[in-house]
């Protein structure tokens, strides 16, 4: 029984100034209200202390060759102290040609294991009960690396860059499968609690799933089963390397949002194939760069202005729950209200909720909610964090402008 409705709050943005009014709430009522959000659950055999997952977020904080830096260590330590149950790292490239951008974390060979061990140790020191997973990926046709050609299942123009990717041969696909398996094995040996395959947002694995980006006529194209073959083969190879108890999850594209693209109906069919192969959890997502180009800002990072804009992948999560009821489903996309999130979990519309942009602005948001402050995140979903990574490390630009303004005011008063 819910004893207290979500607290009201005032949020006024004027010249990037942010003012928040947070009324007090009854702590016992809040505890009862968010009982599910802050209850433990499992992914495979890994117990997560609550249902809040930090969704993988590109940070642009690694070295040029993809190694861990002090700012990255600080970022993940802050997230660990912030109260999330599970942290998924930003995109870790499995191949130099598949980096997602400058200063991208990497897993090119075994020399990177020590770097990731250091990152994991930092998280454990900050909060021993927080779990951490490695997201491994290849940028594929969306690669912008000046030294390497973009590759894809088929030679279909990438409209964001205007580049025509080169179609991979079957042998090259086999090599990429081996690279994913090797990266997953390195994640296991580094000490991560699980690994997540990035099969969303138009990157390489996602492009194989899409009939818009994959027009092959061999065993890796055509039917949904054939388009999912690369994922299934990665699962099979990884399982032989890491054993049965190490969870392998997927961030799964559920809809491309372009003509002739992947649909939710096909995505649920693909979900069945990967769950049969041993997928431990599915984080639903959708959209890619060309979706953003055709529609302006949109999926996977919709602007959230009203409660109706929230939880925009909930229909996808519901479809996945119906298709693969025994696989944990992670809802990402505009999760802003903790009481609504708790109700979604109570109703078993999803098993976990995943947050990205709000934790850039406010890494301790989960602790704030657990302590009784149920106001939504300070994040206003303006997507300024996207602009920040064009030039440097990810940050909330609105928050940084406010902090700089306050610092100047303090200096004047001294």
φ and ψ at residue 328, rounded to 5 degrees? -60, 130
Alpha-helical segments (H) within 127-210 = 170-190, 204-209
Locate 370 and state its tokens: 């657990």
Q: For residue 77, what are its two tokens?
A: 């330590």
For residue 278, count other CB atoms closer than 10 A to its CB: 15
Query: Burial letters for 358-396: b for 16+ Cβ neighbours within 10 Å, e otherwise?
Result: bbbbbbebbebbbebbbbbbbbbbbbbbeebbeeeebbb
Helix runs in 191-300, H state only: 204-209, 224-227, 229-242, 264-276, 289-295
Q: Please identify which of the residues 76, 112, 192, 203 carries the catalytic annotation.
A: 203
Task: List residues bridging with 166 in a β-sheet.
Answer: 151
Taking Cα atoms as reference points, which of 99, 200, 195 lies closest to residue 151?
A: 99
192 is catalytic: no
CA dist 74 to 61, 84, 132, Å?
10, 15, 15
Residue 46 Cα to chain centre, angstroms: 18
Q: How many residues does the chain have?
A: 414
Closest residue by Cα to residue 54 from 332, 372, 325: 332
Contact 92, 183 (CB under 8 A): yes
Cα–Cα nearest to 84, from 10, 8, 4, 193:
193
Q: Which residues of 131-149 are buried (b: 16+ CB within 10 A; e: fewer)?
A: bbbbbbbbbbbbbebeeee
Phi, psi of 399 (to 5 degrees): -65, -40
Residue recorded with tokens 């054993």? 243
The two three-digit tokens of residue 213, written as one number: 């980006």
- For residue 249, the surrounding DSSP H or E stretch is strand 248-253
User: Any alpha helices (H) in 36-150, and if so which ranges?
Assistant: 70-81, 113-126
Residues with active-site annotation: 203
């Amino acid at each position: 029984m819910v004893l207290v409705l979500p607290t009201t709050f005032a949020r006024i943005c004027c010249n990037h100034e942010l003012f928040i009014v947070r009324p007090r709430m009854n702590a016992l009522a809040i505890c009862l209200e968010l009982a599910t959000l802050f209850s433990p659950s499992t992914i495979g055999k890994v117990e997560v202390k609550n249902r809040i997952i930090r969704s993988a977020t590109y940070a642009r904080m690694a070295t040029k060759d993809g190694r861990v830096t002090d700012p990255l260590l600080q970022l993940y330590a802050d997230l660990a102290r912030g109260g999330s149950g599970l942290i998924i790292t930003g995109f870790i490239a499995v191949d130099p040609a598949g980096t997602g951008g400058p200063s991208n974390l990497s897993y090119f060979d075994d020399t990177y294991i020590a770097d990731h061990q250091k990152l994991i140790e930092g998280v454990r020191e900050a909060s021993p009960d927080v779990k951490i997973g490695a997201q491994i990926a290849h940028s594929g046709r969306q690669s912008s690396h000046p030294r390497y050609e973009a590759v894809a299942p088929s030679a279909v123009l990438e409209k964001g860059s205007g580049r025509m990717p080169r179609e991979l041969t079957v042998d090259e696909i086999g090599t990429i499968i081996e690279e994913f398996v090797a990266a997953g094995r390195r994640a296991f040996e580094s000490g991560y609690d699980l690994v997540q395959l990035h099969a969303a947002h138009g990157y390489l694995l996602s492009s194989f799933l899409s009939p818009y980006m994959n027009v092959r006529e061999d065993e890796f194209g055509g039917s949904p089963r054939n388009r999912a073959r690369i994922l299934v083969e990665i699962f099979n190879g990884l399982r032989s390397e890491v054993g049965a108890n190490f969870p392998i999850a997927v961030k799964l594209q559920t809809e491309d949002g372009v003509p002739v693209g992947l649909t939710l109906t096909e995505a649920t069919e693909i979900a069945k194939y990967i769950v049969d192969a041993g997928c431990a959890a599915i984080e639903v997502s959708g959209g890619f760069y060309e979706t953003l180009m055709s529609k302006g800002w949109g999926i996977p990072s919709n602007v959230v202005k009203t409660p109706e804009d929230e939880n925009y992948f909930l229909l996808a999560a519901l479809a996945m729950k119906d298709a693969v009821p025994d696989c944990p489903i992670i809802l990402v996309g505009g999760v802003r209200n903790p009481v609504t999130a708790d109700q979604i979990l109570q109703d078993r519309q999803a098993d976990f909720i995943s947050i990205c942009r709000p934790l850039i602005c406010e890494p301790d948001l989960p602790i704030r909610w657990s302590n009784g402050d149920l106001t939504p995140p300070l994040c206003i979903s303006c997507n300024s964090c996207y602009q920040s990574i064009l030039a440097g490390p990810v940050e909330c630009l609105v928050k940084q402008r406010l902090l700089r303004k306050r610092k100047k005011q303090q200096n004047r008063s001294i």
